[in-house]
Structure 1
Amino acid sequence: MNPKAHESDSLPAPGPDALAQSEALTERIRAEIASAGGWLPFSRYMELALYAPGLGYYSGGAMKFGKRGDDGSDFVTAPEMSPLFSTTLARPVAQALRESGTRDLMEFGAGTGKLAAGLLNALKALDVPFDSYAIVDLSGELQERQRATIEADAPELASKVKWLSALPEHFEGVVIGNEVLDAMPVRLVVRKLGAWHERGVSWITDHFTFDDKPLLAALDDPLLAEIDETIDEVNDEPFIEYVSETHEAALAFTRTICTMLTRGAAFFIDYGFPRREFYHAQRAQGTLMCHYRHRAHGDPFLYPGLQDITAHVEFSGIAEAGTEAGADLLGFTSQARFLMNAGITDALSDLDPSDVRRFLPAANAVQKLLSEAEMGELFKVIAFSRGIDDTLAAFSSGDRSHTL
């Protein structure tokens, strides 16, 4: 595979079984490149690296979620960081259920099951009636982990949980997606001296490499036309080269969810920016990022199938996709503002400060969730609705919908 020396030399090597899985996936991708004539769109490479059956990062057996690299995991998400995240999120979820008159929940990409278990318990504590909690997750390994977590942490409510293999045509209730949009395949595009290229993947001798192809029909591509206009509008200096992503998969997913949602609300929590911030000069080399053993780096060809590959979310496009599907934009704000509006500091104050072993870790976790230097500003919350007339308390101040 010949991973880049400056990346692989600083990262822990995988074990023999994991390496064999990665090599099998490498061979599969290499064969697809060959059958495609020597060049594959990066979006397809990313799709295979993450979701190839039995071999991809999310469809294979990698640990993924955890708090330390030495436990075999690659990153930690908010629900694993603190149970107060789930407790706080339950409040706007409960309000959406009440105001829409619905009784069902659906979560995408449920990770370890911590968010589901936390929401189940918190909704019960809030005395909110609900009938079912559906989980949509492609990973059989994660489904088993979710089942075990829910049975251990929310045993009285585990019977309400079910796993879906296909989406229903219509759904009434609340949809939740925490760090789902960033893991959807993106197309890499490059503007060189004003001309657009698509960045794909080729196989050279014994390793993958980026390979740019001119996009002759770029002027007819509305996404590229919008990117082109925004880059020039928000930046003073011209660029010799500007690298970015288009998010067709995330846009299609948003349209599907907002079409499926006939009544209720959909909450998506992820890192990213509105369009005018997304295409700022600070991101002229794109936002693609990989996570392996709790270390972030920029080489998507390192150990295929054993590392996460993500890109920041362009939230203006997500907002447009949802509203074009007929849903209302319920709100858009930073994670910090959303959680504070929803009462996370009140939840923290309910803990006994004299219980140092419990209080200090909780306070440190809340600080990470809220701090501008941590997750508080980079992460955003966007929500869509049908059948909810007013805004939710979680969007009552600091709503940034006007920036989309």
Structure 2
Amino acid sequence: MAHSQRVSAFLHQQIAKAGGWIPFSEWMHHVLYAPGLGYYAAGNTKLADSQANATTHLSGDFVTAPQLTPLFGQTLTRQIAEVLKQTNTAHVLEFGAGSGALAQDILEALDAQGLIVDYFILEVSADLKHRQQERLSRWGTRVQWLERAPEHFAGCVVANEVLDAMPVEVFRWTEEGALQLRGVKSTASRNTASGSAASESLAQDFMFEDRPASDTLTHVMQNRMPALPDYRSEINLQAEAWINNLGAWLTRGAALLIDYGFPRHEYYHPQRHRGTLMCHIQHRAHDDVFLAPGLQDITAHVDFTAVAHAAQTAGLDVLGYTSQARFLLNAGLADILAAYAPESEQLRAQTNGAVQKLISEAEMGELFKVIALGRGVVDPLIGFVRGDRRGSL
């Protein structure tokens, strides 16, 4: 809580400097990425530490697919290997590598196939980068960390749960059909209590305030959805810019983007009138974005139609789009599971449970989607041979 109070003090300073109000995208950027303070920039533990025990030892705030079981990475590697062979390249670039579990599983699986690659990681979190370096040290200089995206890259790009953590703009349609941009301001009277009372006041330090959106943003949203009265949601312009940049430096190969989200007609569905913002802290999910700044993750679901349109505008091909369950089954998860020889029946049961979570429609199987964007790659890829949903975008 002491750390969160320091983050709150920093946020109050930023709001004051801006004249008393900042767009939510700026707030989200600060609470996640402010140097030494933000959720991903400070030293708090974010992810479970062990794949084998990720479902029972709930350290950190959330569990990603690579933390559940190495079979996720092994299956994904089949798709990566196809891209590398098609493009005659030996380079993999992962954005936001988390604990390094996915990189480890991919490298081990590629090595087993005799595909010796150079593995690049672009990681914004200093403490996660340190965990990755320790975990991947046995590959030596074959694993390299980048400070920024490359100028040119040929190979396979992997981004698992990256787009959802990019700061989003939040908007609201008024009863009169005008678009309002949601921002954050400090509350008029700040609670200065200390101790346990201070922790209760953390969520009371900030509040939303709406202001008229720019003509540009209004035009964009008018082309994406009807003006539904009191409808609140998000637009991830940073993710669209990221895709545009991808088109500038990916000279040959494919990017596999895995995240939770929907095509646009589902994203801006009338029943989803409160948007998709979600917070995670100590394996609890909620929607209070002002709770304990700096101590919780904040995410928004992905508009995959926007991703596809940005890719096409950037000159990339949309090579496939489907659910995580269908992608993993297409890529051979069932065969990998059948060949799996665990050390104990307990580990087999844990692995079966993890695989079920990956593919179940009630768990990650349907909510998470996989989209492949690329250049110079033959369509269809193995992960999309059945159940391709590009038509829904």
Q: TM-score normalized by structure 2?
A: 0.91
CA drift of 1:134 comes to 0.6
Distance, in Å, in 2 between the alignment partners of 1:354 and 1:69 is 18
What 5-or-longer segments of structure 1 have no aligned partner? 1-18, 233-238
Alignment of 1:124 with 2:104, yes or no, is no
Residue of structure 2 in register with 1:196 after alignment: 179
Structure 1 partner of 2:376: 387
Q: Does 2:233 correspond to 1:247?
A: no
Q: Is the 8 A contact 1:339 1:394 kept in 2?
A: yes
- C-alpha offsets along residues 45-89 of structure 1, whole Å, 9 cap, x if unaligned? 000000000100001111000147975410000000010000000
Which digits, 9 at most, give the CA deviation of each residue in 1:124-157, with x for residues without a partner? 1122232x10100011111110111223xxx2x3
Change (3 A) 1:62 1:379: same
Residues 372 and 262 of structure 1: CA distance in aligned 2, closer, same or farther (over 3 Å): same
Match of 1:226 in 2: 223
**What per-residue deviation string (whole Å, max 9, x for no partner) do you get for residues 281-307 of structure 1?**
231100000000000011111111110
The Cα of 1:341 is off from its aligned counterpart by 0.2
Q: d(CA) in 2 for partners of 1:81 and 1:379?
A: 15
Q: Deviations over 1:266-292 (max 9, x none)?
A: 010000000011011231100000000
Q: Check the 8 A contact 1:82/1:365 in 2, yes or no.
A: yes
Q: Work out the CA distance in 2 between the residues paired with 1:68 and 1:290.
A: 19
Residues in 2 aligned to 1:274 and 1:71: alpha-carbon distance in whole angstroms: 32
Q: Is the 8 A contact 2:24 2:184 kept in 1?
A: yes
Task: Quote the Cα distance in structure 1 between the aligned partners of 2:18 and 2:342.
Answer: 61
Is the Cα–Cα contact under 8 Å of residues 58 and 283 in structure 2 kept in the other structure?
no
Structure 2 equivalent of residue 171 of structure 1: 153
How far off is 1:353 after superposition? 8.1
Q: CA deviation at 1:390?
A: 2.8
**Matched residues, percent identical?**
48
**Stretches (4+) displaced over 6 A:** none
CA distance in 2, matches of 1:301, 1:373: 29
Q: 2:248 aligned with 1:259, yes or no?
A: yes
TM-score (normalizing by structure 1): 0.89
Q: Kindly tell me: are residues 335 and 68 of structure 1, through their superposed partners in 2, closer, same or farther at Cα, counting changes over 3 Å? A: closer
Tell me the distance in 2 between the aligned counterparts of 1:56 and 1:285.
25
Pairing 1:84–2:34 present:
no
Alignment partners' CA distance in 1, 2:101 and 2:343: 26
Equivalent position of 2:7 in the other structure:
25
Instruction: Say how many residue pairs are matched.
Output: 372
Cα-Cα RMSD = 1.6
Structure 2 unmatched runs, 5+: 49-53, 191-204
1:21 Cα offset (Å)? 1.9
> Do the aligned partners of residues 328 and 120 (structure 1) sit closer, same or farther apart at CA in structure 2, a change above 3 Å counting?
same
Larger deviation, residues 355-364 vs 110-119 = 355-364
Pair 1:300 & 2:298 matched:
no
Q: Distance in 2 between matches of 1:348 and 1:355?
A: 15
